[in-house]
Structure 1
Amino acid sequence: MSIASLVASLTRAARRFRHASDGNIAVIFALVMVPLLGSIGMAVDYSRANRARTAMQTALDSAALMVSKDFSQGIVQESEIAATAQKYFDSLYKNTGGAAVQVLASYTPNTGKGSTIKLDASSAIKTEFMKVAGVSEMPLGSSTTTTWGSTRLRVALVLDTTGSMSSAGKIDALKTATKSLLLQLKNAATKPEDVYVSIIPFAKNVNLDPTNYNADWIDWTDWLAEPAILDPAKGGAKPSNWSNIGPGSPCPFTDGYWGQHGFTCTNIAATLPGAASVSTVPSSGLICPSKDSGNKNRLKNGLYYNGCYSSVPTETKVTVASCWGIPNCTCTSGRNATCTKTTTGAPYTHVWRPAGVNDATPDKSTWNGCVADRGTYSSPRDDYDRKVTAPNAATPESLFPAEQTSYCSPVVTPLNSNWSNMATAVDGLYPLGGTNQPIGLVWGWQSLVGGGPFPTPASKDPNYTYQDIIVLMSDGLNTIDRWYGDGSNTSTDVDKRMYTSESIGTCANIKAANVKIFTVHVNTDGGPTSTLLRNCASPSDSGEKEFQIVTSAAGIQTAFDSIGTKLTKLRVAF
């Protein structure tokens, strides 16, 4: 039975009771029926009106977001806003209990805090019960406002490109997901300066681009130094027969399980073109360490030493009675001339010469761009590896230490809005080396503030709100940095540099600088969830950490899509 039929039946019953003559039943019923029916009817009609109003508000909110996005991207012109809003609303509003809804739209250009589009909707719903009391319809109205472009984004994508990313299809999935995220961010921008992105691949090191080899922010101390294992000043020692080694001598360095050094010999400095392994010291007398295998010291795995030891022989002079037929002989004059013969050979004096050239100026152009964690390993430790303090030549530990390694990660990309170039950079990612999340994280932060290879970002326009973001993706646990690590997942000291507590570590420093951190743990091998990545993440609006764990390569896409959606919403708000 319909509501209208029910009302008619109750009305007829009331009339019959009005003519009843048995007792006071008719009078009592008539007195009770009117307020009871009115109360029930009012509750039912108000409930219907509230449902209609809720549906109207939901449809209006969604329509406002949709038309704002279309307008910001140039799909809809200002003159088309009202019609487009009405079209979106009509497709979303499914309540059929009311009259047609008229949507009015007003657009306000950016006057300092973003552009706005305000939508107002009005309609009415016909009553079923309340019309008995003379109320035939109830008005409905709703309003919503979107603000577009009031927030500008600066996003650093800090991406794990270590050797383990080569397994389970992770590196290819990372490329696909990253380019998808870049497209989301591109679509969220109305103007180039609305969204800037940097890309920071990392392994043990970060690659700051080898073309920067003349920059004044690089510390070349370690890059130019002889191997520490041979330097007595650093606790090392030369081979026992060192002074007797010269041209033609067997290579004095040994590698392998029983090796003493972790490297052998090359004909010229290992970083120079044409370097090749040799078993004996060449005629040049250059004694050049090869690339380090890490067999002696895991921290040196893949490290190149940028120089050679020259061999300076000792000169020996002997006087003989005759000059006849004696080479290298300096003779006196006269009938009874004598000869002073000079010979060269052991003992040799060996001098370390950076870049392996007979020149006082070392060749830094062979640097492949990688830097290690900055700072010094001393007590108390300085904090340069956990902050973005500007480098200063007067304070060497504040400079970025060059480190030549065969596991150098892909080159970083500074903040920019050249989406095509960024996609190309992502295509060039490759997996190599061990995991050092702290160095990737701090360089992501560095890219947001400028310094070193990164230009200082343009001054922030006071007419906008800015949000700095770091997205850190890694597929495992930290294994190695400049000072710690043995190649296994037990390097807790690396973790402590990144996060000790909510107030100590790189993560804490970044969050204190009002930079929001999203973290993603790609866990395809069934290992434990990274507590470190969870702790490092910033809290979401609901209080939960902005942390995601995925168990397949395909999950990277899902995680990045989720982050992209959240970042896009920062650009559009009610």
Structure 2
Amino acid sequence: MFNALLRDHVCSPARRFTGAEEGNIAVTFAIALVPILGFVGAAVDYTRANAARSSMQAALDSTALMVSKDLSQGVITPSQVSTKAQSYFNALYTNNDAKSVSVSATYTANSSMGSNIQVNGSGAVTTDFLKVAGFPTINFNTSSTAAWGNVRMRVAMALDNTGSMADDGKMPAMQKAAKALVDQLSDLEKTKGDIYISIIPFAKDVNVDNSNNNQSWIDWTDWDAANGTSTCTSYNWWGGCQSSTWTPANHNKWTGCVTDRDQDYDTKNTAPTTSATRFPAEEYVSGSEKYCKSGNNPYLQPILPLSYDWSAIKQRISDMQPTGNTNQGIGMAWAWMSLTQSAPLNAPAKDSNYTYKDAIILLSDGLNTQNRWYSNASQIDARQKTLCDNAKAAGITVYTIQVNTGGDPTSAVLQYCASGSQNFYVVTTASQTASVFSSIGTSLSKLRVAK
């Protein structure tokens, strides 16, 4: 009896204790609170570290780009790369969480795909929560590479050589600016063939050099009809010539001018293989003056195909003289032909290991006045617009410059031909030509962050 009462007295409270639930939530929460706070704290610490790393990546990207540009343009030497990189990075990186930040820069010259600058950065963020778990810091690192030389450039300069370029110092200003652009672009050359430049002096016609008088891409039809001698083969009873034979002049008498091709080939870069696609020889004359005859003063300089002979390119620019009327379309057409891997100018084959940027710079100081068919600006402009559409559709980047020192209307056709409004420039004084060519050179040599 006593034993039963004792058992009931002890076991009943025990059963009530084991069945009680009122304190379990608090106990469970207390136990779970530690890992929950740990996860939240870890998220906060990692967010801070990720922000510091993202800021570093942006700073390294800009640093790599600016150091590469300085190096490629000769502003700094390879030995100054590390110092310059540190200077740029210090100005760009403003994250206050990062500690123990370090930056290093490595320059690799003339690798198989060009030159590059690699900038590496590392740092650490002191943790607020993870340190209780034994992680007092979160380390991070990242890098950025700026590359150049794997994009090769071919640039055709179609330069107005018309008579009005003699006014207001326009011709010497253009020559100085164009030669400076040659220097600016040639400085980007790491190996021969990285940069090619062609020179296309134009007026109403272009001069393809009379040494090409035996080339199959010339159409002699009009020239033969206009240049030669007539020989009488029979006479009538009073001594007058009744019939005659026309003998075209020897083609070595041709002075080098060609005019626009037959339509619509005047708006294309089709290889000259048929009568319609060949380039018509012409004697471009004014009175007794033959504009394309080498030795005349003034005379239209011959085209210089793509080359990396920088001295020869600058000499051709120096030799240009103002003469003749304005036909921007023929300058544009031959600039495109100079970038084309076919006759008559036979641009060099492109290496499949490289990406290429082809560009045309078209400069003119006036409105169109004359081509093969028209002496009306609007009709000439219409042909030129179609030509520019075709060139841009083929991937050519077009820059246009209007040298407008005489208060002419803004050239609608030059605006139209440019690859975007940012590629059209108006020069109102000859002295502005240099800065425009420099801007174009900067655009052409713009570097990109590779990775």
TM-score range, shorter chain: 0.7 to 0.9
Matched, 1:86 2:87: no
Give % identity.
Answer: 40
Provide the C-alpha distance between the structure 1 equivalents of 2:203 and 2:102, rounded to a whole number of angstroms.
Answer: 58
Is 1:159–1:473's contact at 8 Å kept on the other side of the alignment?
yes
TM-score for the superposition, normalised by structure 2:
0.75
- Answering whether residue 197 of structure 2 is matched by residue 201 of structure 1, we say no
Give how far 1:567 is off: 0.8
User: Which residue, out of 376, 385, 397, partners 1:516?
Assistant: 397
Aligned to 2:119: 119
Which residue pairs with 1:348 in the alignment? 241
Which residue, out of 353, 362, 368, partners 1:478? 368
For 1:179 and 1:569, locate their aligned partners in 2 and report how far apart those are by CA, in whole Å: 19
For 1:171 and 1:58, the matched residues in 2 are separated by: 44
Aligned to 2:354: 464
Which residue of the partner structure matches residue 158 of structure 1? 158
Q: Going by fraction, where is helix more abundant, 1 or 2?
A: 2
- Distance in 1 between residues matched to 2:87 and 2:116, nearest whole Å: 22
Taking the TM superposition and a 5 Å limit, the aligned residue runs for 1:63-462 are 63=64, 65-67=66-68, 70=71, 84-92=80-88, 93-94=90-91, 101-106=101-106, 113-123=113-123, 143-226=143-226, 306-310=227-231, 314=235, 346-349=239-242, 351=244, 353-354=246-247, 362-375=249-262, 382-392=263-273, 395-405=274-284, 406-408=290-292, 409-458=300-349, 460-462=350-352
Gaps of 5+ in 1: 1-41, 227-305, 317-344, 356-361, 376-381, 500-504
SS at match of 1:477: coil
Per-residue deviation, 1:450: 3.7
- Name the CA distance, whole Å, in 1 between partners of 2:167 and 2:361: 22
In structure 1, the partner of 2:418 is: 537
Question: What are the within-5 Å matches in structure 2 for residues 560-571 of structure 1?
Answer: 560-569=437-446
**What residue in structure 1 maps to residue 8 of structure 2?**
none
- State which drifts further: 164-173 or 397-406: 397-406
Cα shift readout 1:442-469 (whole Å, capped 9, x = no counterpart): 11110111444412412x2221111111
Say if 1:86 and 1:102, in contact at 8 Å, map to a contact too.
no
Contact 1:313 1:346 (C-alpha < 8 Å) held by counterparts: no
- Number of residue equivalences: 388
State the AA in 2 paired with 1:407.
Y
**Cα distance 1:168–1:50, how it changes in 2: closer, same or farther (>3 A)?**
farther
Q: Which position in structure 2 is the counterpart of 1:493?
A: 379
1:506 match: secondary structure: helix
CA distance in 1 between partners of 2:413 and 2:65 (Å): 40
Q: Is the 8 A contact 1:64 1:146 kept in 2?
A: yes
2: CA distance between counterparts of 1:432 and 1:51?
A: 63
Cα displacement (A) at 1:87: 0.4
Report the Cα offset of residue 144 of structure 1. Answer: 1.6
Q: Could you tell me which of 557, 561, 565 is aligned with 2:434?
A: 557
Query: Residues 313-343 of structure 1, C-alpha deviation per residue, up to 9 Å, x if partnerless?
Result: 8487xxxxxxxxxxxxxxxxxxxxxxxxxxx
* TM-score w.r.t. length of structure 1: 0.60
In 2, the alpha carbon distance for the partners of 1:168 and 1:203 equals 18
Unaligned runs of 5+ in 2: 1-43, 285-289, 293-299
Q: What is the distance in 1 between the residues matched to 2:251 and 2:378? A: 34
Q: Which amino acid aligns with 2:213?
A: Y
| Alpha-carbon RMSD | 3.6
Structure 1, residues 359-409: CA drift from partner, whole Å, max 9, x if none? xxx32212111100011xxxxxx41111121212xx322211111122332
User: What secondary structure is seen at the aligned counterpart in 2 of 1:152?
Assistant: strand
SS at match of 2:178: helix
Aligned AA (1:439): I
Deviation at 1:102, TM superposition (A): 2.1
Other-structure match for 1:287: none
1:554 is paired with a residue whose SS is: helix
Q: Distance in 2 between matches of 1:480 and 1:374?
A: 14
